[in-house]
Amino acid sequence: MIRQKFDPSRVRRLLIRSTNWIGDAVMTTPAVRAIRRNFGRAEISILVKPWVAPVFADSPHVDRLLIYDAAGRHHGSSGKLRLARELRRRRFDAAILLQNAFEAALITWLAGIPRRVGYKTDARGPLLTHGVRCTAAVKRVHQTRYYLTILEALGMSVGSQRLDLFLGPAGPERAGRILRARGVSPHQRLVGINPSATFGPAKQWLPESFARLADRIQEHLDARILMFGGPGDRQLGERIQQMAARPMVNLCGRTSLEEAMALIQVCDLFISNDSGLMHVAAALDVPLIAIFGSTNPVATGPYSVNSRVLQASLPCAPCCRPTCPLGHMECMTRIDVETVFRSASDLMAVAG
């Protein structure tokens, strides 16, 4: 139950606390757009961890990015107090916490922000002036709706769940420069594959399957393969490259998030595990195949009409475990290369 009425017209300076993971941040973009609509007269700042900042860097819905440097000046208890003092100096009238952690509420309380909105999760209800109950029903909806429900609980209009991702005018030039440096013509058909995923191996389709799929696509669909991954995926990328019979452009650990997003935007198709880059492709409306294992596509699937979700039908799925409790990863081994290749062929044919 919300204890106080919330009047957006009284807010001149608003802080949004972003979520900490790329995919989650992308799924908050409908909520951020709705916040702008409801707080049209306010100056809106968003507090983000550094690796999430590119998701909002070019967004017309926020006026200022504030960096939460937890590894640097905001590290530890003294760093959090420093962050709270920095926020206090900006004299925010209200904060909307899209992140669920206790810490998010504590920092805004220490910052003296008079109105603090968010889910009453993680025992932080007493620190919120406008706490929203996180019901069993809201936990079952797609994450885009989950974040919008915070605003609905305040009586605000929210609009659609469409994802937003703005890359700015430098995006195509950035992508073209990277492709030319690797001998790829921008006029070639490009298929991105993303074999990585955080959370655990139960979210990762087999490396040998990605290698075989890459060969099939290059042989039969006349496309170059761009392989994506973060800094921790270099060995995975090299392993897949060694397994494949045909060469591919291995970008694992070799691009920033800004560069990865620009490259995904020019792909004709993107094939990914359940991951942050999967949501990036969905937000950019790139034709997308999402391979799901232990996680639940109802909650975290790509929110895009231009996507297909592939998931094995098993009585234990989705278990939402980071590793397979049965030890054999059947939810991933049952998704064969031919099934994914047929979906890729279909989407490429539609895209022309």
In this prediction, residues 297-319 reach a mean pLDDT of: 91
Q: What are the residues facing 95 on neighbouring strands?
A: 15, 116
pLDDT digits (tens, 9 = 90+) for 260-297: 999 999 999 999 999 999 999 999 999 999 999 888 99
Portion of the chain with pLDDT greater than 70, in percent: 98
- pLDDT band of residue 4 (cuts 50, 70, 90) is low
Same domain, 145 and 110: yes
Same domain, 333 and 193: yes
The answer as to whether 183 is a domain residue is yes
Same domain, 123 and 195: no
- pLDDT band of residue 352 (cuts 50, 70, 90) is low
CA proximity to 286, closest of 307, 311, 300 = 307
Which token pair is 176? Answer: 């073209």
- C-alpha–C-alpha distance, residues 325 and 316, integer Å: 10
Same domain, 148 and 185: no
Q: Which residues constitute the domain of residue 217?
A: 170-351
Same domain, 105 and 207: no
The answer as to whether 216 is a domain residue is yes
Domain with residue 290: its CATH number is: 3.40.50.2000
pLDDT score of 1? 46
Q: How many domains does the chain have?
A: 2
